[in-house]
Structure 1
Amino acid sequence: MTDLKINSEHQSTSGQLPDSILGLEHTNQSLEAARPQFGPGIAPQLPNQSTSTHLRKSLPGGGQWWECLLPFRHFTATDVFEPETYKELTHQFSLILETTAGKREGAYKMRPALGSNDGLILGLTDKLATAFSPLFTEAWLRSLAELLNLKFLPRVEGALHSNPQGSRTGWIHTDCCSAWFDESNSTMEELIFPPRGRCNYFTGQAKVPDAKPKEYIRAATMIFYLCNDGWEQGDGGETGVYSADREAEDTAVKLIPPLNNSLFLFECSPHSYHRFVTNPGRTRNSIILWLHASVHDAEARWGTAINRRDSR
């Protein structure tokens, strides 16, 4: 088998959201009015809105998108990419799974996650972002930010995840936390991913003398599900979604199934509680990406409720 193939041809099938996708069943003004605005130290009060809205327009390839305001605003989509584009994504992902399992030689191998996470993870690099380009083109990333009504910053983190069958249920968390990028050799107009050997993404601790870590805040999370052939209800591996007042409880408001070529997208906020749910039936595979905001913009929106970390 060949190693990762870098294809620029997928740039044209990046799945960019057309301007018309923002034509919702209700107006953008009413959506913004429903979005909770929190000040420093104020606990979030979730809006009491209907369950979901189907977007009138979809992605190229026939994808269908839905918006839901409870328990926090989020989007789900099915058939996100055209069949050939999705097939190439699964091919690249499968090569890494085979390398990880020792079935082939390759440059990329997933590593065990830390703590109580039973999954295998491979952090994003420039080369991986190119190999999985439909998910990491600037046009696609900007479209996700626009859909969430967020200011786009070209600072993106991502990872390939594989949770073996029987992985433990994860902890309930929000993703609303600090994230650090090395700004020693970049501009704010340049799309960059975390340089793994320069600074710690979570703490800002420099790994080389000339690193210039800069703090950002995670602004949005997207989970794209793939290589989960034959998934059925009962197999597990869903993403559980939880209310802010049920952080310590096990009952999910909703379970997002890991269906092939589908995704789950939400703004990172002090109330975007979610977690991986155990998968007794089969392995769960996904690609995750995070958009980021400046500390100033995040604090203006969420006040002191952000989980900030600084180990410099």
Structure 2
Amino acid sequence: MTGVLTSRVQTPPAWFTDLFAHRRWIRRTGPFPHIYARDIFVADFYQRLVDDYARVRAERIDRFHRVIGHGDPTALGLSELRDGPLALFATREWHDLIAGVTGVAATGDIDGSVRHHAPGSPAGTPDNGLAPALFAEPAPGPAEVRLPGETGTGTRETVRAVAVLFHLGNPDWRTGDGGEITLRADSGGDSAASALTIPPLDNSMVIFECTPRSWHEYAGGNTADRGSVVMWLHRPRHEAESRWGAARVGQR
């Protein structure tokens, strides 16, 4: 089942809306609810994102760290990307757009990174995204965002609420090139029929609320470099525990 989901968030500023080629979000129900979009940004801004990704890969390669268990990519946190086009993903406007599209009341807390999967990366370990985190006080105001480690020691307990995966820098991808994302309704992965594989097409994105059923993994086997932005919006931990149960927060 698919359809168009219309966001009801407050009208964002023109500088922000002018970056988008359209505002259409396709909602899918299986194997768990998620939102998919293609050709999100206008061509000029998308190219600026690609160029900025190439720049940080060239200039800050020593700052990239290994992420174990997700296809073993290298990653650079969004908190280190506040001086170029990629900084868009750490703005309140972007946060509020994603929160509005998903209908999740997030806190303004964001974590994430730009990632690079080298050719031949292994498959990742299934993960539902319900991971806890600590952010510094005070909580961000209605026009602010907070990223991990920006100011002080983290004492506010949160849990990832919404996952966002945006693909960039993967030109000419074809079926068989690998590097897809697989969505599953359970962690076992025993039923291929219940899985959905999403290709890493440039300027495309998948968004979903993190729940006990939102299992996903990197498929691996990519024949070329794979670039992406992976990020999460957060909710207070007590809200996540009230909704899903304390035992399911941080479950792998």
- TM-score between the two structures when normalised by the length of structure 1: 0.69
Instruction: Determine if the alignment matches structure 1 residue 112 to structure 2 residue 66.
Output: yes
CA contact (8 A) 1:75 1:266 kept: yes
Give, in angstroms, the shift of residue 64 of structure 1.
Answer: 4.1
Say which of 14, 23, 31 aligns to 1:71.
31
Q: Which residue of 2 aligns with 1:299?
A: 241
Q: Which residue of 2 aligns with 1:279?
A: 221
Q: Which residue of 1 aligns with 2:170?
A: 228
CA contact (8 A) 2:164 2:232 kept: yes
CA contact (8 A) 2:78 2:87 kept: no
Q: Which residue of 2 aligns with 1:192?
A: 146
2:179 maps to a residue whose letter is: G
Q: Which residue of 2 aligns with 1:128?
A: 81
Q: Which residue of 2 aligns with 1:249?
A: 190
> Residues 129 and 249 from structure 1, CA distance in 2 versus in 1: closer, same or farther, beyond 3 angstroms?
farther
CA contact (8 A) 1:117 1:168 kept: yes
> Residues 56 and 300 from structure 1, CA distance in 2 versus in 1: closer, same or farther, beyond 3 angstroms?
closer
Aligned residues: 236
Q: Which residue of 2 aligns with 1:84?
A: 44
Distance in structure 2 (CA, Å) of the matches to 1:145 and 1:63: 14
> Residues 177 and 212 from structure 1, CA distance in 2 versus in 1: closer, same or farther, beyond 3 angstroms?
closer
Q: Whose RCO is larger (CA < 8 A, sep 6+)?
A: 2
Give, in angstroms, the shift of residue 220 of structure 1.
Answer: 0.5
Larger displacement relative to structure 2 (135-144 or 186-195): 186-195
Distance in structure 2 (CA, Å) of the matches to 1:308 and 1:124: 22
Give, in angstroms, the shift of residue 112 of structure 1.
Answer: 2.4
Please list the CA deviations of residues 89-119 of structure 1 after superposition, one character each: whole Å capped at 9, or x if unmatched.
11110112234xxxxxx48632222357421
Instruction: Determine if the alignment matches structure 1 residue 179 to structure 2 residue 133.
Output: yes
Q: Which residue of 2 aligns with 1:142?
A: 96
Give, in angstroms, the shift of residue 300 of structure 1.
Answer: 2.1
Instruction: Determine if the alignment matches structure 1 residue 52 to structure 2 residue 6.
Output: no
CA contact (8 A) 2:124 2:218 kept: yes
CA contact (8 A) 2:136 2:151 kept: no
CA contact (8 A) 2:70 2:217 kept: no
Q: Which has the larger radius of gyration?
A: 1
Q: Which residue of 1 aligns with 2:55?
A: 95
- Secondary structure at 1:279 match in 2: coil
Say which of 195, 205, 211 aligns to 1:269.
211
Distance in structure 2 (CA, Å) of the matches to 1:238 and 1:88: 24
- Alignment RMSD: 2.4
Q: Which residue of 1 aligns with 2:13?
A: none
Give, in angstroms, the shift of residue 54 of structure 1.
Answer: 3.5
Q: Percent identity?
A: 27
- Secondary structure at 1:92 match in 2: helix
Give, in angstroms, the shift of residue 302 of structure 1.
Answer: 1.0
Give, in angstroms, the shift of residue 250 of structure 1.
Answer: 7.0
CA contact (8 A) 1:130 1:136 kept: no
